Amino acid sequence: MMVNHDVTDRMENIPDEKFTIIGIDKDAEAPTRPRVGYWRDAWRRLKENKVAFAALIILLILVFFILFGPAISGYEFEQIDADAINKGPSAEHWFGTDDLGRDLFARVWQAGRVSIIIGILGAVIASVVGSIYGGIAAYFGGAVDDIMMRIVEVLLSIPYLIIVILISVITDSKSLGTMLVALTLTGWCGIARLVRGQMLQLKSQEYVLAANALGVAPIKIILKHMIPNTIGMIIVAITFDIPGYIFSEAFLSYVGLGIQPPSTSWGALASAAQQNFMFYPYQLMFPALMIALTMLSFTLLGDGLRDALDPKLRK
Amino acid sequence: MAKFIVKRIGYMLVTLFIVVTATFFLMHSIPGDPLAHMARNLPEQTRENYYEKYGLDKSTSEQYLIFMKNLVTKGDLGESLRYPGREVTDTLLTNASVSAQPGGLALLAGIAIGILLGIVAALNKNRWPDYIVMFIAILGITVPVFVLASVLQYFLSVKLMVLPTTGWGSWQNVVLPVIVLSFGTIATYARYVKSNMLDVMGQDYILTAEAKGVSKLNVVKKHVLKNAFLPCMTLLVGQVSGIFTGSFVVEKIFGIPGLGFYYINSINDRDYTMIIGTTVFAAALFVFVQLVVDIAYSIMDPRIRVK
Contacts of B248 (CB under 8 A, 6+ apart): A161, A251, A255, B260, B261, B263, B264
* DSSP symbols for B186-249: HHHHHHHHHHHHHHHHTSHHHHHHHHHT--HHHIIIIIIHHHHHTTHHHHHHHHHHHHHHHHHH
Q: What is the mean pLDDT of residues B127-156?
A: 82
Handedness of CA B214, B218, B222, B226 (dihedral sign): positive
pLDDT digits (tens, 9 = 90+) for A177-188: 888 888 888 888
Q: What is the mean pLDDT of residues B251-260?
A: 81
pLDDT digits (tens, 9 = 90+) for A225-260: 888 788 888 888 888 888 888 888 887 887 777 777
* B53/chain A closest Cα distance in angstroms: 24
pTM above 0.90, yes or no: no
| A312, pLDDT greater than 70 | no
pLDDT of the residue at B305: 58
* B307/chain A closest Cα distance in angstroms: 14
Q: What phi and psi values does residue A153 have, to the nearest 5 degrees?
A: -60, -45
pLDDT of the residue at A261: 73
Q: Which residues pair with A103 in a beta bridge?
A: A97
Contacts of B307 (CB under 8 A, 6+ apart): none
Are the CB atoms for A276 and A99 separated by under 8 Å? yes
Q: What is the mean pLDDT of residues B85-91?
A: 79
Q: What is the mean pLDDT of residues B164-182?
A: 77
| B30, pLDDT greater than 80 | no
| B38, pLDDT greater than 70 | no
The span from the first CA to the last CA of chain A, in angstroms, equals 58
Instruction: Work out the pLDDT band at A293, boundaries 50, 70, 90.
Output: confident
Instruction: Work out the pLDDT band at B152, boundaries 50, 70, 90.
Output: confident
Are the CB atoms for A264 and A117 separated by under 8 Å? no
Handedness of CA B79, B80, B86, B87 (dihedral sign): negative
pLDDT digits (tens, 9 = 90+) for A135-161: 888 878 788 888 888 888 777 777 677
A172:B287 CB<8 A? no
Give the residue on B whose Cα is nearest the Cα of A163: B279
pLDDT of the residue at A78: 72
Q: What is the mean pLDDT of residues A284-307?
A: 83
Are the CB atoms for B220 and B272 separated by under 8 Å? no
Which residues in A lie closer than 8 A to residue B150 (C-beta atoms)?
274, 277, 284
Rounded distance between C-alpha atoms, residue A294 and residue A292, angstroms: 6
Q: What is the mean pLDDT of residues A153-174?
A: 73
pLDDT of the residue at A1: 47
The more confident residue out of B52 and B110 is B110
* Residue of B8, B17, B18, B19 to mutate when probing chain A, most A C-beta within 10 A: B19
Distances (CA, A) of A31 to A21, A22, A45, A184: 20, 21, 21, 47
Q: What is the mean pLDDT of residues B266-275?
A: 79
ipTM for the whole complex = 0.70
pLDDT digits (tens, 9 = 90+) for B63-77: 888 888 888 877 777
Rounded distance between C-alpha atoms, residue B220 and residue B187, angstroms: 22
Give the residue on B whose Cα is nearest the Cα of A269: B147
B26:A166 CB<8 A? yes
Instruction: Work out the pLDDT band at B307, boundaries 50, 70, 90.
Output: very low
User: How many other C-beta atoms can be found within 10 angstroms of the C-beta atom of residue B61?
Assistant: 10
Q: Which residues pair with A97 in a beta bridge?
A: A103
pLDDT of the residue at A178: 80
The more confident residue out of A157 and A303 is A303
Interface membership of B154 toward A (CB under 8 Å): yes
**Residues for chain A: how many in total?**
315
Are the CB atoms for A246 and B141 separated by under 8 Å? no
> In percent, how much of chain B has pLDDT > 70?
91
pLDDT of the residue at A313: 55
B150:A295 CB<8 A? no
